[in-house]
Amino acid sequence: MSMAEISRRRFIQAFGAVAATSSFALAGCGAQRASEADGSAAAGGTADTITFAQGADPRGLDPAYVDDGESAKIMCNIYDTLLRYDTETCDIVPGLAELPDVSDDGLTYTFTLQEGVKFHDGTDCNAEAVMTSIVRQLEPERTEDMPYASFVFGSEASNNGVASVEAPDDTTLVITLRAASTPFIKNMAMALAAPVVAPSAIEAGDSNENPIGSGPYKFVSWSKGENVVLEANEDYWDADHMPQTKNVIFRFIAENSSRVTALNNGEVDIIDGIDASVVPTITDAGNELFEEDGMNINYMAFRNDEGVFSTLEARRAFCQAVNVEEMVESLYSDYAGVATSVMPLWMAPYDKDIQQTAYDPETAKAAFAELGITSCTMLTYTNPRPYNSIGGQALAEAIQGYLADAGVDMEIVSYDWTTYQTKVETDAFDCCLYGWVGDNGDPDNFMNLLADENVSMNVGRYRSDAYNALIQQGLATPEGDERDNIYKQCEQMVADEMPWMLISHSKNLAGYSPKVKGFYYHPTGVVHLEGVTKEA
């Protein structure tokens, strides 16, 4: 056994013990005690504040300008969407509008909006306002800093998505598509791009810092690196989703162990970004664990357009060098499974015959030597992510050990999550760690990533006309066996061309106080807190 392999295996074995031990560290000087955070108890024996701790600040609070889950978790409590997902699934239910009437050709969607809805500043949330929120994200108004716009609303170049939006009266919105799109209805419930922003906030030019929506909670403040504070919208239009708790605080605690300590000390009420090593610490303290199969993919993207892995032979050697099954089992235990598909198997059962590149270290070592590859650079993030609960640094170091055994020195360059999302767009690298949490439960939402021209979606810059053509077919094909077969072909292309090295699918994990009632971590990775209460 080589020294690199011994080092790697010692790291993997020691990681859980170190993380578990460090979970008893102090949460930080700025931590509030539960008595300070809760404020006074509201009538009926419930606390008036719930505090949710996550690993990083949002990138922003306007859904047109962000593409990350940390932002989405907060924004889904501030904004409404035309349609909603059901509480525990991606089934579509009415939101700001009833389910639309769809023309026979599948191109025209007519939405009837709820009457009398107001934004948090008292202005009308009518069809004209919804149109304003959407049209700014359509060509030619769309700007380069709107990463999700093409993903949700399509593009003229691809001849898909939204062609026009009209508001014939206050409660009628008509959206016309360029081509039929099976996932379009689900897209209208997504937590990014689709939420409706008040025109007054858009006109003010500071919607990313001072959001105005029509949702169950109003924005109060954002202290960078500390928290975002929301307060209940007492005039919320939807009686079935009235906020049950007066205040919601999203706290930002980067270290997993520090979030666990904050939960166990009663400083926060709910945490996410949990890894296997801290689960006993949470449950032994009397707190609850939310655990459910996630709708996500944890992967490593090769830089397909340049660098040492721009050739198929080099990418194959890398995938042969890494024992993904051993690594996933060692790092994630029972809380993640090996990814044999871009999509979770429960979501895409038609991919089971597709095989990823097998672990073959001797062949990998010989291939690297023949190709003259002795070094490479990996970018990664330090924060935990919903698809990678241990954070990118630990995962990168495990991969680094396998590459060392194959004769390749891999340099790891790490950043906090917010900085990282900029660096993968601006800096040179050979590979990077990334991931995805499904937005809407449709296979297009996963497979379309590799067809997207936006670097924040397609970080590896993979380009394939044949692949893109399949994606267009999938968009236009109704649900059923024919559509499933299209995405199976996409999956086969990913396995053959290896633009990504697939790693794992994580379970959705969250820890919460037993005093918290009504909490559910949605499959899309967001947390709707309007129905959540806490016993005083």
Mean pLDDT calculated for residue range 182-194: 95
Report the alpha-carbon distance of residue 56 to residue 384 in Å, rounded: 9
DSSP element (H, E) containing 16 = helix 3-22
Amino acid at 121: D
Q: Is residue 32 part of a domain?
A: no
Q: Is residue 28 part of a domain?
A: no
Cβ atoms of 284 and 306 within 8 Å: the answer is: no
Asked which of 204, 228, 262 is the last residue of a domain, the reply is: 204
Instruction: Supply the pLDDT for residue 358.
Output: 95
Q: Is residue 438 part of a domain?
A: yes
Greater confidence (26 vs 13) lies with: 13
Residues 334, 198, single domain; the answer is no
Q: Is residue 281 part of a domain?
A: yes
Asked which of 159, 180, 204 is the last residue of a domain, the reply is: 204
pTM value is 0.81
Residues 353, 286, single domain; the answer is no
Mean pLDDT calculated for residue range 187-201: 97
Q: CA of 398: how far to CAs of 148, 264, 403, in Å? A: 31, 30, 9
Report the alpha-carbon distance of residue 293 to residue 366 in Å, rounded: 38
Amino acid at 325: E
Report the alpha-carbon distance of residue 396 to residue 407 in Å, rounded: 16
Query: Does residue 281 have a pLDDT over 60?
Result: yes
Mean pLDDT calculated for residue range 273-285: 92
Lowest mean pLDDT among 114-118, 270-274, 278-282, 346-350: 346-350
Q: Is residue 27 part of a domain?
A: no
Asked which of 204, 232, 265 is the last residue of a domain, the reply is: 204
R_g of the chain, CA atoms, integer Å: 23
Residues 141, 257, single domain; the answer is no
Query: Does residue 14 have a pLDDT over 50?
Result: no
Instruction: Supply the pLDDT for residue 350.
Output: 55
Q: Is residue 168 part of a domain?
A: yes
Q: Confidence class of residue 351 from pLDDT cuts 50, 70 and 90?
A: low
Lowest mean pLDDT among 83-97, 105-119, 148-162, 290-304: 148-162
Q: Is residue 72 part of a domain?
A: no
Instruction: Supply the pLDDT for residue 443.
Output: 92
DSSP element (H, E) containing 409 = strand 409-415
Alpha helices per DSSP H over 287-391: 312-321, 324-332, 361-371
Q: Confidence class of residue 348 from pLDDT cuts 50, 70 and 90?
A: low
Residues 424, 498, single domain; the answer is yes
Helix (H, G, I), strand (E, B) or coil at 506: strand
Helix (H, G, I), strand (E, B) or coil at 105: coil
Lowest mean pLDDT among 222-226, 231-235, 351-355, 488-492: 351-355
Residues 272, 300, single domain; the answer is no
Token digits of residue 354: 């597709």
The mean of the pLDDT values for the chain is 90
Q: Confidence class of residue 83 from pLDDT cuts 50, 70 and 90?
A: very high
Handedness of CA 182, 185, 189, 192 (dihedral sign): positive
Query: What is the tally of structural domains in the chain?
Result: 3
Token digits of residue 214: 């029509």
261: Cα separation from own chain's centroid: 25
Residues 176, 119, single domain; the answer is yes
pLDDT tens-digit readout, 380-439 = 999 888 899 889 999 999 999 999 999 999 999 999 988 998 999 999 999 999 999 998
Where in the sequence is the domain holding 172, given as residue range(s)? 79-204
If one counts every other C-beta atom within 10 angstroms of the C-beta of residue 172, the result is 15
Bond preceding residue 140 cis, omega within 30 of 0: yes
Alpha helices per DSSP H over 285-430: 312-321, 324-332, 361-371, 392-405, 417-426
The residue to which tokens 């003010």 are assigned: 204
Please report how many Cα atoms fall inside a 13 Å half-sphere around the Cα of residue 417, on the Cβ side: 28
Residues 360, 289, single domain; the answer is no
Amino acid at 334: D
Return the CATH number at 304: 3.10.105.10
Greater confidence (358 vs 386) lies with: 358
Query: Does residue 248 have a pLDDT over 80?
Result: yes
Token digits of residue 325: 């099954």
Report the alpha-carbon distance of residue 271 to residue 421 in Å, rounded: 23
Strand partners, 173: 111
Find all residues with CB under 8 Å of 251, minimum gap 6, and list them.
Answer: 51, 52, 53, 54, 226, 227, 262, 268
Q: Is residue 152 part of a domain?
A: yes
pLDDT tens-digit readout, 288-313 = 999 998 899 999 999 999 999 999 99
Return the CATH number at 101: 3.90.76.10
Residues 306, 198, single domain; the answer is no
Lowest mean pLDDT among 4-8, 372-376, 398-402: 4-8
Residues 86, 196, single domain; the answer is yes
Residues 299, 352, single domain; the answer is yes
Return the CATH number at 267: 3.40.190.10
Residue 411 — φ and ψ, nearest 5°? -85, 130
Report the alpha-carbon distance of residue 129 to residue 168 in Å, rounded: 12
Strand partners, 272: 510
Residues 304, 387, single domain; the answer is yes
pLDDT tens-digit readout, 47-72 = 999 999 999 999 999 999 998 889 99
Residues 253, 289, single domain; the answer is yes
